[in-house]
Amino acid sequence: MNPMSLKENRVHGRPMYPISVYHMECAPGGTVLECHWHSEFEFILVTKGRAVFQVGTGSFELTEGEAVFVHSGEIHAGDPVGEAGCSYSAVVFGAELLTGSMDLVQEKCVDPLLQRVCRLPVKITGAAEWGAEVIRLLGRMLESSAEETASQVLATKGLLLLIMAQLFSQGEAGEVPKAALWKTEQIKTALHYIHEHYQRTIRLKDLCLLTNMSEGHFCRVFRSVMQYSPIDYINKYRTQQAAKLLERTDKKIAAVAMDTGFENISYFTSVFKTHMGVTPSQFRKGTAGA
């Protein structure tokens, strides 16, 4: 199993200008950001409401005006907090945007980040001066990166360099422990297996065989990385897929349950209600015509 295949396939920007900006809105009870990873770096800035973002092995609750930085290759996901929905803007950019050639920026900043021998702060709030500055620059960059005129392209790149300079001024020295990297890679392998096989029965034993861990140890490692137990995560993922099918198709509820790996309809109903707050039929009525 190749963990690389869990990687998000979406292309962010283009080779000459590897940056993309996304503005997302999440309705109450919806998913902010499904679990994934990519080789680009990313900033996520909450613009309305509250959400919990899981980045690598950490979990960060953000309110309006707070952000997280996602390192290259790091698993990340998001869930809304509270009954109100939330909005966020994300900037995804390739390391190539920071430097155009083999210069000191490449040697002192980009390479250590890509080789994971240095790590930058993840949660960014306005509480500290540097954080407030990053949030301010991020806001400006979100405005300037929408178009590709000469002045806006320059402004975006300049702002990005200033933001990275602020983060490096707070950088956590020291190499990321190899054990932590290994754990993350193993969990990526398990996640890929779950995403590929959620329509069938998935046993803990299967995931343990893939990752060469004992069942007990796998549960502990999975929870430490994902904040959920393996079965919790599988059910959450299946429920999200089922919600999409209920919304986008007129398949019967029993068929949706079967298509998303639930062999038992009553169990499907109870899991769905736990995660979504309503039964599948109530969910469909609520989204009909929406």
Based on CB atoms, which residue is closest to DNA, 2 or 201? Answer: 201
Q: How far is the CB of 216 from DNA (least distance, A)?
A: 3
Cβ neighbours around 246 below 10 Å, total: 23
**201, 202, 203, 206: CA torsion to nearest 10:** 130
14 or 203: whose CB is closer to DNA? 203
CB of 6 to DNA, least distance (A): 19
- C-beta of 8: minimal distance to DNA in Å? 25
Nearer to DNA, 125 or 240 (CB): 240
Between 34 and 206, CB nearer to DNA: 206
- CB-nearer residue toward DNA: 106 or 240: 240
CA 77, CA 170: separation in Å to the nearest integer? 24
Residues that bind DNA (CB under 7 A): 177, 179-180, 182-183, 201, 203-205, 212-217, 219-221, 223, 229-232, 234-235, 252-254, 262-267, 269-271, 273, 279-282
Which residue lies nearer to DNA by CB, 164 or 234?
Answer: 234
- Interatomic CA distance for residues 191 and 234, integer angstroms: 9
CB of 218 to DNA, least distance (A): 7
Nearest distance from C-beta of residue 187 to DNA, angstroms: 11
- Tokens for 261? 């790996």
Minimum CB separation of residue 180 from DNA in Å reads 7
